[in-house]
Amino acid sequence: MLIDDLRAAAPEEWTAFTRHPFVLGLADGTLDETAFRAYLVQDYRFLVHFARAHALAVLKADTLADMRAAARGISAILDREMDLHVGYCARWGISADELEATPEAPANVAYTRFVLDAGLAGDALDLHVALAPCTVGYGDIGRALAADPATVRGAANPYEDWIAMYSGDDYLAGVDEAVDQLDRLFERRGGPGRLPSLVTLFKRATVLESAFWQMGLDYASSSTSS
């Protein structure tokens, strides 16, 4: 699978992302709640651009099946995921008005515009590779946390619902679909000569995903110091 080759070519970047201190704090429940709230607000802004990226995937698609797959992604984000996210944020004391009013953090701008630029400058394969650290990475993290006996589960962990979401069958089914899509695109548009540039793209997107985690930690740190 293409995703296996990409992860194997970026071991340091992938580990730094999937084992980031933010993630470890989710696992044992020690993550500063201020950091998590900052992440939730920015993740809402990210979802807006994630929908735009899927819209771009429709434009870049060269088969009707790929167009339909991208359209399903748009619908899932706009008609389901964003409403679920707003509801989840409300449980953390974050209103819909606050989600809309909070400006994007620089780390959010950096990653989302990178993804869109990769898709605009390249083809559908470039776009999906740039999206892979988010889609696939959250699945890897969810699976790992759920399987690790050291992960604190249940009411003792305030992030139990987050872990359950990204280790759940619904989310992982979407990951599997994204992985299959990568392979189909690589078969049509890739080949060994294309792999080095895709690895470079994947590494950069993974580093930007790590920066998204760090954004939450930095926000909590600055709030404490002030």
Marked catalytic residue, from 89, 98, 100, 134:
134
From the number of C-beta atoms within 10 Å of its C-beta (0-12, 13-18, 19+), residue 193 rates as exposed
Instruction: Please state, in angstroms and rounded to a whole number, the distance separating the CA atoms of residues 87 and 28.
Output: 24
For residue 161, the Cα-to-chain-centroid distance in whole angstroms is 17
Using an 8 Å Cβ cutoff, are 47 and 78 in contact? no
Using an 8 Å Cβ cutoff, are 123 and 5 in contact? no
Q: Is 209 a catalytic residue?
A: yes
Using an 8 Å Cβ cutoff, are 49 and 134 in contact? no
Q: Is 134 a catalytic residue?
A: yes
Marked catalytic residue, from 33, 98, 104, 209:
209
Instruction: Please state, in angstroms and rounded to a whole number, the distance separating the CA atoms of residues 129 and 24.
Output: 25
Task: Report, in angstroms and rounded to the nearest whole number, the Rg of the chain calculated over CA atoms.
Answer: 17
Q: Which residues are catalytic?
A: 134, 209
